Amino acid sequence: MGVLFRTGYPLRILLSLCGEWMGRRGLPRSLVPGFPPRRYRKEALPALEIPVLPVTATEIRQYLRAHEIPFQDGHTCLRAPSPFLRDSQLKDQTDAPTSFSLFINKTTGRFLCMTSLAEGNWEDFQASVEGRRDGDSEGFLPSEAPEAEDSEEIRRIWDRAVLLWELPELEEAQLARTMFGLTKVTDDTLKRFNVRYLRSARSLIFPWFSPGSLGLRGLKLLEAEGQGAGVHLVETTIPRPGTYHNLFGLPLISRRDVEVVLTSRELDSLALNQSTGLPTLALPLGTACLPPALLPYLEQFRRIVLWLGDDLRSWEAAKLFARKLNPKRCSLVRPGDQHPRPLEALNQGLNLSRILRSALPAWHKSIVSFRQLREEVLGELSNVEQVAGVRWSRFPDLNRLLKGHRKGELTVFTGPTGSGKTTFISEYALDLCTQGVNTLWGSFEISNVRLARIMLTQFAVGRLEEQLEKYDEWADRFEDLPIYFMTFHGQQSIRTVIDTMQHAVYVYDICHVVIDNLQFMMGLEQLSTDRIVAQDCIIGAFRKFATENSCHVTLVIHPRKEDDDKELQTASIFGSAKASQEADNVLILQDRKLVTGPGKRYLQVSKNRFDGDVGVFALEFNKSSLTFSVPPKNKARLKKIKEDNGPVAKKPSSGKKGAMPQNSETC
């Protein structure tokens, strides 16, 4: 069964619901014919609108002690009595553990009251404490978690859904089970998790309930669509996951549970719970992100097993999430032929309890032998294509040379002044972002408004100023991409920039950071009056960040002054050789000034630490769309040329255009 996940409001689901909904709200802009469904709406990044002022766990503990507030130290949070409870809520809390209902994140300082659902940042908590000390009986009360948006629609969908085993026709029930792979999942399991079926949309309905109650807060719809001989599944969430974070299966968790298995799909949670009897929870965003807002709900567990999927991307996500959850209590199920997804393992008759017992610890004090590495080495050998990283869809020749975009690497990018470095690197990053690579942009040279305009034009593949009636449609789709912007402009301290990047990685699971450009961080460094030494220290900081956070950093560096008629080389990068030595990849945007034409741009990969392949490929700039990628109408022709002639294109005719360097690989 082929499975493909995408997100948004499928038109057939909307049309299958009450016409009153459509009439009152109108058809969402993202559903205008010709445009694909919207992706998950990501949260704004308010913490990056101003320089991040980090708070440490030590500072939080000192503050609580200074104000005589008792607290308990947890895995990821500090637990304390909540100052945000009403009298009626206080009466319900008779035992001491329950009275400690406020969770304060050790890394960010954000808090959540599990009883009142009040939440806020560290400054909000301090304001509340200070207000009470000054005589205000209530102190500062942050707004409680808002009621779920679209609550009427949520209730309407839920009421129209039926229990799967109560379908009037047996054939329809069997077909539904087959489409979703539920042939071995029992009715008791579906009933225990409150899973329903919406007949008009051919969708399973997974409910999100309020913590500690059965109050309906949201839904996830899983629709099955035919695709050739297989089926692909379409996910829809109401409201958007950024509006309300929740964990599927939360009401079934008991206070006495000390072990839980986290999955990336609700179907996998059903299979695991049925087969092993263990508590299971499904992450709302799958492998894309683990929001820190969910961490308080996981504090009670002494052991967490992450079984997120059967591919390398799921494995990387599991390791990243384990760091956020405290790796000392986490174990990971390694993907492989014998470790498929839980639902597939159930359907294949495998022993899921045995697979869980084989889970690898996420943390160990030190690596002392190959024995501790052999399973990960086997994983890489078994998934060669995935190890190469995320492949570009707009730059097939970049895939040919670099093979893909990998976490934990440092890419140095340079090019002559005015050659289009920012324009190219924005499309390079946008390409990855549209494939789910969570991206943080640090543009110190041009404003975020201008950068966003460039990227939106590239995203729409055309100038929107000439078709403003389509702006909202494209802006809605662009807004749902996992991309965030630092609001720094001009010179910035490297320490401030690194702190902001660290914050974004923790909160939003950022795995690609673009810095444009390094020179804007050198003016404020007091490391030395020598600019070369200062630059080396900055490059070292980015190298360390990329390695320690398993995050790819793309760093734009201006070249030295060179003659216009000379090509740039790796040695042309400004500063010492440290930039090229530390980098895993070195990309150079070449701009040859030709006598008979305006010039020819091409990208040169001059270093590739992954497998050593280097070379060049031509770039054709499209001014109307601000793109360097091959136009769609030319992709078929280019593919045929490559199939006929291999990776080397026909030589340019003499006289009209200049030839590429003889020692370079061209396409």
Q: How far is CA 277 from the centre of its chain?
A: 31
Between 143-157, 321-335, 599-613, 619-633, the lowest mean confidence (pLDDT) is in 143-157
Do 280 and 355 reside in the same domain of the chain? yes
pTM of the full structure? 0.73
DSSP conformational letter for 331: E
pLDDT at position 165, please? 81
Nearest to 136 by CA among 83, 206, 97: 83
In a domain, 507, yes or no: yes
In a domain, 192, yes or no: no
pLDDT digit string, tens, across residues 165-191: 888 888 888 888 988 999 999 999 999
Q: What integer is the mean pLDDT of 57-72? A: 92
pLDDT at position 278, please? 95
In a domain, 349, yes or no: yes
Q: Give yes or no for residue 654 having a pLDDT over 80.
A: no
- 608 vs 524, residue with greater confidence: 608
pLDDT at position 216, please? 86
Do 451 and 552 reside in the same domain of the chain? yes
Between 157-161, 354-358, 549-553, 635-639, the lowest mean confidence (pLDDT) is in 635-639
pLDDT digit string, tens, across residues 139-160: 455 544 445 456 888 889 999 9
Cα of first residue to Cα of last residue in the chain, in angstroms, is 37
pLDDT at position 573, please? 87
Residue appearing with tokens 């498929």: 340
The strand ranges marked E within 199-291 are 203-209, 216-227, 230-238, 259-263, 280-282
pLDDT at position 371, please? 59
pLDDT at position 562, please? 66
Q: Give yes or no for residue 472 having a pLDDT over 80.
A: yes
pLDDT at position 47, please? 38
Do 376 and 252 reside in the same domain of the chain? yes
Confidence of residue 544 (pLDDT cuts 50, 70, 90): very high
pLDDT at position 593, please? 55
In a domain, 206, yes or no: no
* Residue where a domain terminates, one of 369, 387, 405: 387
Confidence of residue 195 (pLDDT cuts 50, 70, 90): very high
Q: Give yes or no for residue 543 having a pLDDT over 70.
A: yes
Structural domain of 480: 396-645
pLDDT at position 322, please? 94
pLDDT digit string, tens, across residues 196-215: 999 888 899 999 887 766 67
Q: What integer is the mean pLDDT of 71-85? A: 90
* Residue where a domain terminates, one of 112, 133, 154: 133
Do 376 and 488 reside in the same domain of the chain? no
Mean pLDDT of the chain: 79
pLDDT at position 337, please? 67
Do 508 and 584 reside in the same domain of the chain? yes
Do 469 and 358 reside in the same domain of the chain? no
Do 341 and 465 reside in the same domain of the chain? no
Give the helix/strand (H/E) hosting 554: strand 552-556
3-state secondary structure of 306: strand
For the chain, percent of residues with pLDDT exceeding 70: 75
Single-letter residue type at 123: E
* Residue where a domain terminates, one of 324, 354, 387: 387
- 513 vs 142, residue with greater confidence: 513
Q: What integer is the mean pLDDT of 327-344? A: 88
Confidence of residue 564 (pLDDT cuts 50, 70, 90): low
How many domains, the chain?
3
Do 292 and 426 reside in the same domain of the chain? no
Do 351 and 439 reside in the same domain of the chain? no
Helix, strand, coil shares, percent, the chain, to 5: 40, 20, 45
Q: Are 420 and 493 in contact (CB under 8 A)?
A: no
pLDDT at position 642, please? 46
pLDDT digit string, tens, across residues 247-293: 999 999 998 999 999 999 999 999 999 999 999 999 998 998 999 98
In a domain, 156, yes or no: no
pLDDT at position 200, please? 87
Do 376 and 402 reside in the same domain of the chain? no
pLDDT at position 641, please? 41
State both tokens at 265: 């799909």
Q: What integer is the mean pLDDT of 483-491? A: 86
Long-range contacts of 53-59 (CB under 8 A, 24+ apart): 54/499, 54/502, 54/503, 55/108, 55/109, 55/122, 57/106, 57/107
pLDDT at position 341, please? 92
Do 400 and 443 reside in the same domain of the chain? yes
Nearest to 315 by CA among 325, 303, 306, 323: 306
pLDDT digit string, tens, across residues 90-145: 555 444 445 788 999 999 999 988 887 788 889 889 888 887 666 555 545 554 44
Whole-angstrom CA distances from 193 to 155, 206, 213 are 17, 8, 14
Q: Which of 223-237, 347-361, 574-588 has the highest mean pLDDT?
A: 347-361
pLDDT at position 510, please? 94
Confidence of residue 242 (pLDDT cuts 50, 70, 90): low
**Calpha distance 630→619 (Å, rounded):** 8
Q: Which residues lie closer than 8 Å to 467 by C-beta, 6 or more apart?
A: none
Domain CATH number, residue 451: 3.40.50.300
Do 349 and 408 reside in the same domain of the chain? no
pLDDT at position 659, please? 38
In a domain, 33, yes or no: no
Domain CATH number, residue 283: 3.40.1360.10
Q: Give yes or no for residue 21 having a pLDDT over 90.
A: no
pLDDT at position 571, please? 82
- 147 vs 652, residue with greater confidence: 147
CA-CA-CA-CA torsion sign (3, 4, 7, 8)? negative
Q: What integer is the mean pLDDT of 511-525? A: 81
pLDDT at position 419, please? 85
In a domain, 268, yes or no: yes
Q: Give yes or no for residue 8 having a pLDDT over 50.
A: no
In a domain, 553, yes or no: yes
CA-CA-CA-CA torsion sign (10, 14, 196, 251)? positive
